[in-house]
Structure 1
Amino acid sequence: MPASVRLAAGASLSIFAAMLAMTAPAAAQGKLEARYDVTLAGILVGTGDWAVDILDDQYSAAASGGATGLLKVFAHGGGTGSSQGRIVNGALVPATYTATISSSKKSETIRMSLAGGNVKDFVIEPTPPVDAKRIPVTDAHKRGVFDPMSATLLRVPGTADPLGPDACHASTGIFDGRMRYDLRLDFKRMETVKSEKGYHGPVVVCAIYFSPIAGYVPDRFAIKYLAARRDMEIWLAPIAGTRVLVPYRLTIPTPLGTGKLEATQFITTAIPPKTASKTQ
């Protein structure tokens, strides 16, 4: 696969899997079933599905995707990811995270357990080779972080409409099993979207700024490229019945054209409290 295509796909997955889970009052309940297309310079290169359940005291998220269209000719591959956790005093507290990435040449699985915002344990199978150029991840880097899947759920505090500038006043640390990095959001504007199936309404658009901290090779082009970008955007839409926003669209300029991840299906439903309590 060309390096520029790998950059577009990797950047999309990294940022898509890296939004902030924030503190809020008592949780409402809702669920999301979404499908996304990934395009590069207007050419379809991948598709994915995402399911999220938000209950009073717990949450779960699961995603799967793979190469399609022209990209599938060059690189057969796909991936799955999932995360579970608790909701404590209105805050998302991740507990477990698993991700598997497979291609025609290899397969890799990352497993992580967390408690109180700190990484308790993680493993990568098979064990990756040691790279002396990689900045080491210390114990301090694994404290006060979210896993990538939990971090896709952005919880807006307060009682006002969550779809507004306050949704973008966020910054957090993320550990994905290999790299520790920060993401910062800034409000840009409001837009209206209409998916092929499901949600039709407003979204809040945030700028994204990526800052690598540890676990990366400083000379890698993709890292330097992402850290220098000032024109990446994430469009956030609400999960009905909750104060949780999730990515609807992501755009990242690349050397081959704009990389975009966008929902084609975004079905979100509020869960009545009595129904939700029966399913726990």
Structure 2
Amino acid sequence: MLKTIYHTFVIVAFSSLFLPQARAQGEALQTDYTISFSGIKIADAKFKTTLNGDDYAIDGLVQASGLGTLITSLKVDAEVEGALKDGRPDSKSFSLKYRDGDYARDYLAYYRNGRVTKATISPDPGPRDSNWVEVTSRHLRNVIDPLSAMMLPASANPCQGSLAIFDGETRLELKLAPAGSRPFSTDGFSGRAVGCAMRFHPIAGFERKDEDIDFLAHSTELVVWFALNDRLNVYVPVLAHIPLKIGRITIYATKFGVS
């Protein structure tokens, strides 16, 4: 279950923005979220994306709050560095620190030209059992980190194609499809949001018999909604519904603007 929630946050809550060819320089986009489980608030999240020429940096924090503090001490810190090449993100580094009670795991990955050059997990998880799908060298080509994965050139139809992601342990793909539009309002935004239906496909670095991952992989209900920030001309996730076997996680933007 911990790993499933980890994937949920990394793939969706950590989704940063759709980045166009024309970019503001030296500005930072601040987006805050409330995260609830089956209608009960369990966490808050804050993400800051800084653009400086073709370089970008993303800092994220997810932390238990509300009634969530009664059942978890979840805290997730993430950092990404990368550069834009031909209008698309090219990962340089990805780090994530996951804490929940006595459970602690640090993920670190370095990339060059779409290839993973180094990846570490601390503490070392040790030998895996026979249900573990091993990551091989062929899985580490033409990939991107999970935060940069959503940084696609803005277009009339951004929700298409697939994303090959490596998060330091797991190789997965997200397949995107348009899911219409809807009105959305929050602090800093009022207008229409664009929906992206996403299909989660684990490739390697996971347990074959993990029921939660299998449920997410077969779900057709994973949808993320994006809104346009006029100042930076970027699409940013503002609402997401992530189905789990025992309920649903909802991520809702409470702040949307340039800091």
TM norm structure 2: 0.90
Partner of 1:172: 163
Structure 2: distance between partners of 1:102 and 1:219: 24
Tell me: CA distance 1:227–1:174, structure 2 relative to 1, closer, same or farther (3 Å). same
Report deviation, 1:84: 0.8
Structure 2: distance between partners of 1:179 and 1:12: 13
Is the 1:20–1:155 Cα contact (8 Å) retained in structure 2? no
Partner of 1:13: 9
Q: How many residues align?
A: 257
2:33 maps to 1:36? yes
Is the 1:19–1:152 Cα contact (8 Å) retained in structure 2? yes
Kindly provide the CA deviation profile for residues 59-117 of structure 1, in whole angstroms up to 9, marking residues without a partner as x: 11110011122221122120100101112222211111111011220322111111111
Tell me: CA distance 1:23–1:248, structure 2 relative to 1, closer, same or farther (3 Å). closer
Partner of 1:214: 204
Runs of 5+ consecutive residues of structure 2 not aligned to the other structure: none
Identity %: 25
Report deviation, 1:257: 3.3
Structure 2: distance between partners of 1:18 and 1:79: 10
Is the 1:17–1:149 Cα contact (8 Å) retained in structure 2? no
Is the 1:18–1:174 Cα contact (8 Å) retained in structure 2? no
Q: Which amino acid is the alignment partner of residue 257 of structure 1?
A: G
Structure 2: distance between partners of 1:18 and 1:109: 16
Structure 2: distance between partners of 1:8 and 1:219: 13
Partner of 1:187: 178
Is the 2:17–2:235 Cα contact (8 Å) retained in structure 1? no
Map 1:69-148; keep pairs closer than 5 Å. 69-132=66-129, 133-148=131-146
Report deviation, 1:245: 2.2
Q: Which amino acid is the alignment partner of residue 251 of structure 1?
A: H
Tell me: CA distance 1:17–1:76, structure 2 relative to 1, closer, same or farther (3 Å). closer
Report deviation, 1:14: 3.6
Is the 2:199–2:222 Cα contact (8 Å) retained in structure 1? yes
Structure 2: distance between partners of 1:200 and 1:31: 20
Structure 1: distance between partners of 2:3 and 2:128: 20
Q: Which amino acid is the alignment partner of residue 107 of structure 2?
A: I
Pick the structure with greater CA Rg: 1
Using the TM superposition, name which of 121-130 and 137-146 deviates more: 121-130
Using the TM superposition, name which of 87-96 and 139-148 deviates more: 87-96
Tell me: CA distance 1:21–1:181, structure 2 relative to 1, closer, same or farther (3 Å). farther
Using the TM superposition, name which of 23-32 and 114-123 deviates more: 23-32
